Structure 1
């Protein structure tokens, strides 16, 4: 029978206590600290901005704000050794929490390597649930594991000239030299009980191992260790050196000068119109897709610089061009982006599937060889209808599909990361029912495009309809309807309903309005775009009939007295909206609706307060 995990941990800790006793213990040097002080630096490639906590053997906890240079200091005169330390905050714009251990007063740094000593022992859980007995075990485990880790890390430490440096107990300065330079340039991450070390600039893996693997069996890929440790002072290290970003998006670059904290690097973009980078290294991509270059320069020695390549990728789109006489596209052209439609792309083996949900709805399938595990670039000519032929294609939508078809398609680009499709470019031509007119399409998709539709338009256009002065009640809740001659729903009449005749409810981005206690029965639905979760003041335009509307733009529907629209267009304006604890408490709304493509409009204005 397997022992419970806590018994295994106790066995490990007991073994380490015995090892430590046999080796004469593992007390830490005090350095230059005061006799009753624990001090050090909390850093990981940059000083940690945040808070450091110390918990003593009696589980008493104290804390303080970390100084700008990463330093901290605790007076432990009235506390009991050993001590657990936790630093939490941000460094280089990333959230970070690291742990360390102190057997007594002296220098104790908190950094990725101190954390690594404890990583296999679940430091977060041990700190949060510490007891008097577990504190003693924690200290023994740390001091027992530290020498072995120092030995295991020798290949990497030597590359930075710090083979003999005690990364926990020696004085430490965040100065882009030695050990700090190592933390600047090597990423150390944990996940799924594993440890990974990578070159920050290239992402090349230096070490990847389960935490359960003995440190004596770690295998480092020294070819992937950054060379900067052996380069002269003043050398610029830039990361990432190659990246992709969506058009108009941004990416954070980091640049350091070996051995120098001031001045910092200066930034520039090589190409005119290639985007903008600020003094902090935040790059904003241009709207035009292409390949651009960012340079980080040592201002004290401009000959020292480093260059990064940025591939700017266009936002997602699907474009369709239908010849006159083409049955599927109806002889129309269509253009979809993330701002006016939901574009979904999946790759499964040799099958590419595309769906578009916007003002219209479409679905396309492009089947390469069924034996493919991934999409391959190439052109497939004289193909027939999927799924009855391989290779095959099929594009359909708006209730129209082909019984038989011929055509061709091309996969221009297909990018995978860890087996998942992340980018694709494709185009096709389809002839339905043996006819000459064609439907042509272009598809571009990347998972980097996470943009959504903008919210309602503000300020609201002044020319939009609103009830004339005096047409609505001066006080109280009301629904006011004004139907133009020829409007089917309102039959060319005006209607007013007040107070107890008005019912309003809201859930998420949907508002429902209806009449009660009235001889007339009216129902109204007003739906926001899917990018917002509740009604916001503003103008919602280009709307279709709810609930069959384009989810990216929103919808509306007003019906009643036995009359409703099959199709409609229109808009609504939320002039005022208030919520309390997420519950709608008041709204002022007006709308315009055209039924069945007609010109006559139904207008409405609603005032409601809970």
Structure 2
């Protein structure tokens, strides 16, 4: 019998319509790093670090919050150059980062986001990209009360927003000589060059979901106010509102040798500084104005001491400095070696001339004299059992390097023999011995190794004996060869290269929702040389589905590492599987298809079926349903009718309707994978007078997502 509270009057008849539809809702799962660690994996401290600047470095504080259910945070004071570093060991990624402080007499609160441990710069562009990812809304409210789900959502949306920012402002980047690949993780300095120069010259103003950019010096509009709440920046850039030109030159000695790493500073409305390259070249990007150029480096004076420049309408070149050394004493250095190139330790080296100095060679045969004045010298060496060449040395306003001396053994050692003549070792720590046989007339010198990793014991004898040696672990990826000189004989040692093995954890993320997620894979490297950590074991990470699985952190390196990745939303109606290859290991990502989520509305035409009082009518109805991870379905219609049982296989929805007069079905409905569900519903018409059923059956329907 029908429950009277669901009776709808229509003349002397009541028509009952029971409509059940099913809506799929995929479970949203967040792809955080394994074990709850923000960037867990290898041993040691994990850090998020970067530079906080808005042209000038921020003077203030950086605060980081993690994605755990009970938010944890870290804070640090920003250094004078804008740098900061925070320990995130044990925290859950991604991290929301806020920098508050003063730069150029203005107060700033800027935001950025880190997908895991590593670099996270904080500046007006990172703040803009994150605000766009947040649908143009101010970030202060969310920073005050973050949630894990929203953190994941922002981390995913940030990638697309960052790309939009970088593409939109390409003209401005070119103007200031910047070519960013990633505005969050690229190397960055608060030195009024590159991106930082852009922040010096242009103000990025965000208010009420709109962005505008103005010239700081004259207020001219570079970008008029444009909405950023839809993930786009649609306004037109007027790059001619910023005037920036190149000023370049060289720093060389009077002989024309370029001096590297000289700091060249321009003092004016800004005070940018750059360093010369290996050939002594430099280039500064400067806005219109007057500047004084100066060069500086310890140990040199520069001519001229300063160069005035006026930047107005064109690039300027030829602003050159000549470097003059201020050193009054110089270095004489070299090595004492055998004819085969093995360094001889313990040799007394004497430098005689304008002054007299003495030195003793180290374990690899090297020596050095400092504070040697200009003049002509003679270099001699002495050690029992050897004779040495004598070489002249001239010091003339520069260091004299590479002053090498050759030593040869003395005495008659024609009968000396060694056994064995060579040995080969695996990559780990090793040791061995060589048996020396000689007659009493052979005065053979202490054994000498030509490699720092191969050490020989200082055994001296007038007859036979034993030379003991040891070798350190070979943690390189190439085999290596060393020699020990024993009198006139050479003992050869070969050590094999380390072999590297890698493991990843986890090996798969099988629970990524259609909405996407960010996550981490912990890579552990092991070396056959050490039996443990392997800092020199190189690896590469490659996304084999880079159109939707994006490596957001380091994609190459050595040793243990945490690989961060982002899975973009799946807008298709099929589950998809992709992989990342990390050091030859495969990490698998399985992402659910887009689910049927939300509410579906439609109408149903009920036929009169030829019975008096059972009238034809069009009935509107609304449906809301959900699906669990096992694709079991629950749901209800607008009149709270429920599904007693249901499940989905592909696009087929199999349901049994739970009605007041018993279960109806099973029914098979069809989902088109996006917005529409089609199927059938049950209806019944009965007499109020007798309660007799006048008509019942099923009718097809089509409902569409709002």
Q: Name the one with the larger helix percent.
A: 1
User: Is the structural similarity TM-score above 0.5?
Assistant: no
The structure in which a higher percent of residues are strand is 2
Question: Max radius of gyration: which structure?
Answer: 2
TM-score normalised by length of structure 2 = 0.30
Q: Which has the higher contact order (CA 8 A, sep 6+)?
A: 2
